[in-house]
Amino acid sequence: MLRRAIVLLALGSVTGVFFAAFFARSNAHGQEVPTELQAEPEAPTRTARALSRPLIDAAARVRPTVVQISVFGDTRWRKNLRLGSGSGFLVSSKGHVLTNRHVVAVRGAKRLVVKLADGRRFENIAVLGADSKSDLAVLQIRDGAKGDQKFTVAVLGDSDKLEVGEIVLAIGSPHNYEGSVSMGVVSATGRAGVLGGKGNSEEFIQTDAALNQGNSGGPLVNLDGHVVGINTAIHSRTGGNWGIGFSIPINLARAIASAIIEKGSAQRGYLGIEGVWASVESLARAKINSPAGYYVKAVVPNSPAAEAGLRPGDVIVKVDGRSVKHIGILHARIATAGPGGLLRLIARRRGQDLEVKARLSEERTASLGIEVASLTPARAREVGLPGRTTGVIVTKVVPGSPATKDERNRIIPGDIIVSVNFGGFRKYRIENANDWNLVIERIQATPPKVVRFEVISADGVFLLSLEPPRDT
């Protein structure tokens, strides 16, 4: 069946040219058509090639920058198993690779392998930073940092200039078919609610270019050969392409990646407001005459919002000239502007539109104040535990952090954390530092009221509860 399907697709691609040439030479009775009535045989081919040329050129510019990322680790039954794979693309001559966080943040992951389009394979890979809110990550090929490797780097475009209906290409390694190119159009921009998580900087590009498993992290490309998005998710009940794919706008990705490369973390802007997105109807029911927008419930004292003059009851209807049609637009603009960035807001207050300029500060995240390292078999035996014990050992506790608030019930260096529980009954097993980092990212993305730890200490095994700081 597979061979037959491939054949049918191949035939379908040349059908128009075949019949055009056939009917140009023969009539319905099989007789020769007079020469003066014949179409030029190569005209359909030339037209098709002319239409294809921009696509061919765009693919040729970007394909050399696209990489395949493979994730290896251990399971309970097998060692050094390939746990997953995805795509990414080179964004600097020093070997920086931009991809999705979910491509590399795989439970049990121990090492990454990056394969370039020219066949080069690198195993000395560092994860410089991974941001759960935007689902972005930056890797670095360590050999590239030495300057002894040459890389072809992608050109980043301007996702704000994308138009619905514009032709785009998706490039990646779907189902491990490296360097695959699919074509589609921009179906919509500013899509929200794709990942479904509160606090995510969601403002996705929707495309019908074919996206499948393995495309994650690969580039979405315009006809200029510029990357305009990072392919991230699909809407599908089967796990295969349904023609509804979503890409992170490159303007947001550029800001997050630059912060990770330059400062080591995704440093977002902070406005200092709490509220909800509200429709015209819901505002009208509250007797507020305003277009749809972000309804401000509270303003944090001494925050950028307070200094700019925003007040509870204001409705933010525009940000940087764009209507706030959903909450993702405001979140994305704050993330893109970054610390020190200037937001130009239009706020509706008592029926009047006010222009407000807010200079963003740096976002504050929940921090437990605990630094850890993976527990090695040798270290486990040193503290009297079986060598097969897994977990993380506490290397440092920051003074004044939640981990030090209770003098009688506190975590100290040398303690071993083996599991974490928060936000329900699910227990997260902590087998190494990677598992710990994934849990901390979840806590920072949506801070729970209480985090519970299972700890092995010199006094035995005990449970400890901490309250992470919650910030607006």
Q: Let me know if 226 is a catalytic residue.
A: no
Please tell me whether residue 56 adopts helix, strand or coil conformation: helix
The counts of H helices and E strands in the chain are 10, 27
Q: Pairing relation of β-strands 451-457 and 66-73?
A: unpaired
Output the average pLDDT for the chain: 83
High-pLDDT (> 70) share of the chain, %: 84
pTM reported for the whole predicted model = 0.71
Structure confidence at residue 405 as a pLDDT band (50, 70, 90):
low
Query: Which ranges constitute the DSSP H helices of 264-407?
Result: 280-285, 304-308, 327-337, 377-382
Structure confidence at residue 24 as a pLDDT band (50, 70, 90):
very low
Question: What value does the mean pLDDT take over residues 1-24?
Answer: 34
List phi, psi (to 5°) of 8.
-60, -40
Structure confidence at residue 466 as a pLDDT band (50, 70, 90):
confident
pLDDT digits (tens, 9 = 90+) for 353-385: 999 999 998 876 555 778 888 888 877 887 788
Candidate list 70, 131, 132, 135, residue with the active-site label:
135
Separation CA 397–CA 402 (nearest Å)? 9
Report the pLDDT value the prediction gives residue 320, as an integer from 0 to 100. Answer: 93
Report the pLDDT value the prediction gives residue 13, as an integer from 0 to 100. Answer: 36
Q: Let me know if 361 is a catalytic residue.
A: no
pLDDT digits (tens, 9 = 90+) for 69-81: 999 987 778 888 8
> What is the identity of the amino acid at 290?
S
Candidate list 85, 134, 173, 216, residue with the active-site label:
216
Report the pLDDT value the prediction gives residue 268, as an integer from 0 to 100. Answer: 78
Report the pLDDT value the prediction gives residue 202, as an integer from 0 to 100. Answer: 67
Structure confidence at residue 134 as a pLDDT band (50, 70, 90):
confident
pLDDT digits (tens, 9 = 90+) for 413-440: 888 999 888 866 667 888 887 778 778 7
Q: Which domains does the chain have, with CATH numbers?
A: 16-51 (no CATH), 65-267 (2.40.10.120), 269-362 (2.30.42.10), 370-466 (2.30.42.10)
Report the pLDDT value the prediction gives residue 390, as an integer from 0 to 100. Answer: 86
CA angle 446, 450, 451 (to 5 degrees): 85
Candidate list 70, 87, 102, 134, residue with the active-site label:
102
Burial of residue 361 (CB within 10 Å: 0-12, 13-18, 19+) is: middle
Report the pLDDT value the prediction gives residue 60, as an integer from 0 to 100. Answer: 97
Q: Specify the range with the lowest mean pLDDT, choosing from 51-55, 236-240, 424-428.
A: 424-428
Separation CA 399–CA 360 (nearest Å)? 28
Structure confidence at residue 26 as a pLDDT band (50, 70, 90):
very low
For residues 249 and 243, the answer to whether their CB atoms sit within 8 Å is: no
